[in-house]
Amino acid sequence: MRRVVITGAGTLNPLGADVPATFAAMQQGRCAIGPLTCRDVDRLSIQIGAEIRNFTPEDHFARNSLSLLDRFTQIALISARQAMAQSGLVIDDALGLRAGVILGTAGGGNTTVDDNYHTVYAEGKNRVHPFVVPRLMHNAAASHVSMEFGLKGPGYTVSTACASGNHAMGQAFHMVRGGGADVMLTGGSEAMLCFGGIKAWEGLRVMSRDTCRPFSRNRSGMVQGEGGAVFVFEDYDHARARGAEILAEVTGFGMSADAGDIVMPDRDGPVRAMRAALADAGTAPDAVDYVNAHGTGTAANDRTEAEALRIVMGAHADMVPVSSTKSMHGHLIGGTSAVELLACLMALRDGVIAPTVNFSEPDPEIGLDVVPNCARQARVDVVMSNAFAFGGLNAVLVLKRAP
Select from 256, 236, 387, 234 the least CA-distant residue to 325. 387
What's residue 85's pLDDT? 98
What's residue 122's pLDDT? 95
What's residue 190's pLDDT? 98
Q: Tens of pLDDT along 97-142?
A: 999 999 999 999 999 999 999 999 999 999 999 999 999 999 999 9
Query: Which listed residue (162, 194, 212, 344) is catalytic?
Result: 162
Region 351-359 average pLDDT: 98
233 and 143 co-located in one domain: yes
Give the range of the structural domain holding residue 26, as residue numbers without chain letter: 4-241
109 and 145 co-located in one domain: yes
| Catalytic residue flag (residue 294) | yes
61 and 210 co-located in one domain: yes
Our count of domains for the chain comes to 2
| CA atoms in the 13 A half-sphere facing the CB of 286 | 4
Select from 186, 192, 187 the least CA-distant residue to 226. 192
Q: In this structure, is residue 312 part of a structural domain?
A: yes
Q: Tens of pLDDT along 304-331?
A: 999 999 999 999 999 999 999 999 999 9
What is the C-alpha to C-alpha distance for residues 402 and 400, in angstroms, rounded to an integer? Answer: 6
Q: In this structure, is residue 363 part of a structural domain?
A: yes
Q: Tens of pLDDT along 163-177?
A: 999 999 999 999 999
Angle of helix 336-350 versus helix 164-177 axis, rounded to 10: 60
Select from 284, 257, 282, 253 the least CA-distant residue to 268. 257
6 with 229: CB under 8 angstroms? no
CATH code assigned at 294 = 3.40.47.10
What's residue 10's pLDDT? 99
What's residue 118's pLDDT? 96
Report if pTM > 0.95: yes
What's residue 214's pLDDT? 98
210 and 299 co-located in one domain: no
19 and 67 co-located in one domain: yes
H-only helix segments in 223-376: 236-241, 268-281, 299-313, 326-329, 336-350
234 and 263 co-located in one domain: no
Region 367-378 average pLDDT: 98
What's residue 156's pLDDT? 98
pLDDT band at 373 (very low <50, low <70, confident <90, very high): very high
What is the C-alpha to C-alpha distance for residues 338 and 169, in angstroms, rounded to an integer? Answer: 8
Query: Which listed residue (31, 167, 331, 344) is catalytic?
Result: 331
H or E stretch including 71?
Answer: helix 71-87
Query: Which listed residue (138, 167, 238, 294) is catalytic?
Result: 294
Select from 397, 394, 398, 399 the least CA-distant residue to 271. 394
DSSP secondary structure string, 86-149?
HHT----HHHHTTEEEEEE-SSSSHHHHHHHHIIIIIS--S---TTHHHHHSTTHHHHHHHHHH
pLDDT band at 186 (very low <50, low <70, confident <90, very high): very high
Q: What is the mean pLDDT of the chain?
A: 98
49 and 113 co-located in one domain: yes
Among 178, 210, 241, the domain boundary falls at 241
For the chain, the residue count is 403
Among 216, 241, 266, the domain boundary falls at 241
396 and 366 co-located in one domain: yes
- Residue 165 sits at φ, ψ, to 5 deg, of -60, -45
| Catalytic residue flag (residue 162) | yes
DSSP secondary structure string, 183-208?
EEEEEEEE---SHHHHHHHHTTT-B-
| Catalytic residue flag (residue 118) | no
Q: In this structure, is residue 172 part of a structural domain?
A: yes
304 with 393: CB under 8 angstroms? no
Q: In this structure, is residue 248 part of a structural domain?
A: no
Q: Tens of pLDDT along 59-102?
A: 999 999 999 999 999 999 999 999 999 999 999 999 999 999 99
What's residue 227's pLDDT? 98
75 and 199 co-located in one domain: yes
132 and 258 co-located in one domain: no
Q: In this structure, is residue 220 part of a structural domain?
A: yes
pLDDT band at 144 (very low <50, low <70, confident <90, very high): very high
| CA atoms in the 13 A half-sphere facing the CB of 204 | 16
36 and 116 co-located in one domain: yes
166 and 295 co-located in one domain: no
What's residue 230's pLDDT? 99
What is the C-alpha to C-alpha distance for residues 276 and 76, in angstroms, rounded to an integer? Answer: 29
Give me the amino acid identity at 365: E
